[in-house]
A and B are shown apart, each in its own frame.
Chain A
């Protein structure tokens, strides 16, 4: 793996190795605290994403490495009209690896074509965000003990949410996965995702529901996403359905004792704060797993070992 641009760039075998390494880091953090000494990660964030950037930076610091970079295009030469290619060619002189977030789709691909050091796509517009997918996979494997034989509910905006599409693609490579898509009809999983990934795939089955409370009791995992008011075509539908996509303590009573609730964050109001106390709510743990999987990824891409 030279660059990581798309979650599907990594084979199932490579994902296993990454997650195994992340497990090892979690178990023995002190073994890894100097492995990236004298290495530099450049975080090039052409649009703000505090959460992802801090996760990458914390990951590099915990490996003993250094971090350089910028947050926001206003603070970079992009504001002077410099191309992505020129920016990364310059940064290549100073850093060993780049994590890059850019508002335009395909920007990380352009970067990867112009440098010899590894590029990690930390989000390119609404296109790909592979380290979020790796975060989700590590969270599931760590907390459920497996990536197969799972019933996964995905709730909210399944049309525009790239996180959900990437996770569907990634999980569809494991056996006996049952997806339960819970969304208003305006925000269903797009047809192209179903045709590309779910059709003719004997590993996976899927069902679609409009209301979370109808099906929550069947789920091993509930992956929540935000439903934005402006995505609805009419106010009536929004009012009719909005409460169905808000997870609260009442709905949690219907769920299995060992179901886990995940969310890519930031949350707005789709998960009631009262759910945070429930041990099944793992979205903040998920953010922590995000740091560990990024540590494993940086090590793998730099070719360093403990």
Chain B
């Protein structure tokens, strides 16, 4: 059994859909951190069968709300003194910027590289995001 130390002070991102940890690592820009970061893949889970976990041995200043866009089932635990001091419930953010790209070849973002890729939540019930320019539905 693989063993990874528990986090004393930092963040644990749990219940990540198995196989998605690396994309979240990239979304959050965790490669830029110089603290310890553990990516644990395919952990057994009663609820999910298999899941991924990311442990970060430090506070991070990233906008964790955007994780709600990627998968609102993810849980984020803030750890201090080896204990969970805050459990963040993720909701769908109203707007996401530069998380996914618009796939519509007719969108203005396809020819103007400097433009941010902005998506707005247009249907909270169904979790649908549309491009702020061309209204193409976001693909996650």
Whether B132 pairs with A109 at a CB distance below 8 angstroms is yes
On chain B, the residues within 8 Å of A85 by CB distance are 112
Q: Is the interface of B mostly helix, strand, loop or mixed?
A: loop
Whether B132 pairs with A105 at a CB distance below 8 angstroms is no
Instruction: Give per-residue flags for A82-110: 1 if the beta carbon is below 8 A from chain B beta carbons, else 0.
Output: 01110000000000000000111111011
Tell me the minimal C-beta distance from B135 to chain A in angstroms: 7
Tell me the minimal C-beta distance from A129 to chain B in angstroms: 14
In the complex, B104 has a CB within 8 A of chain A:
yes
In the complex, A125 has a CB within 8 A of chain B:
yes
Interface size on A, residues (CB 8 A): 15
Segment 117-151 of A: residues with Cβ below 8 Å from B = 124-127
On chain A, the residues within 8 Å of B107 by CB distance are 104-106
Instruction: Give per-residue flags for B98-124: 1 if the beta carbon is below 8 A from chain A beta carbons, else 0.
Output: 000000101111111011000000000
Tell me the minimal C-beta distance from A234 to chain B in angstroms: 26
- A84: which of B106, B108, B134, B135 is its contact (CB, 8 Å)? B108
Q: Which residue of A lies closest to B136 (CB)?
A: A105
Interface size on B, residues (CB 8 A): 16
Total A-B residue contacts, Cβ distance less than 8 Å: 46
How many Å lie between the Cα of A66 and that of B115 in the bound state? Answer: 32
On chain A, the residues within 8 Å of B112 by CB distance are 83-85, 110
On chain B, the residues within 8 Å of A103 by CB distance are 106
Instruction: Give per-residue flags for A170-185: 1 if the beta carbon is below 8 A from chain B beta carbons, else 0.
Output: 0000000000000000
Whether B114 pairs with A106 at a CB distance below 8 angstroms is no
Whether A106 pairs with B132 at a CB distance below 8 angstroms is yes
Tell me the minimal C-beta distance from A9 to chain B in angstroms: 13
Tell me the minimal C-beta distance from A20 to chain B in angstroms: 30
Whether B108 pairs with A107 at a CB distance below 8 angstroms is yes
In the complex, B133 has a CB within 8 A of chain A:
yes
How many Å lie between the Cα of A24 and that of B136 in the bound state? Answer: 39
> Could you list 24 examples of A-B contacts with CB < 8 Å?
A84-B108, A102-B108, A103-B106, A104-B107, A104-B108, A105-B104, A105-B106, A105-B107, A105-B108, A105-B133, A105-B134, A105-B135, A106-B108, A106-B109, A109-B108, A109-B132, A109-B133, A110-B108, A110-B112, A124-B108, A125-B106, A126-B106, A127-B106, A127-B134
Known: A105-B107, A105-B133, A127-B106. 20 other contacts (CB 8 A): A83-B112, A84-B108, A84-B112, A85-B112, A104-B108, A105-B104, A105-B108, A105-B134, A105-B136, A106-B107, A106-B109, A106-B131, A106-B134, A107-B108, A107-B133, A109-B132, A110-B115, A125-B106, A126-B106, A127-B134
- Chain B residues in contact with chain A, CB under 8 A? 104, 106-112, 114-115, 131-136
In the A-B complex, the 7 residue pairs with the closest CB atoms: A106-B133, A105-B134, A104-B108, A106-B108, A106-B134, A107-B108, A125-B106
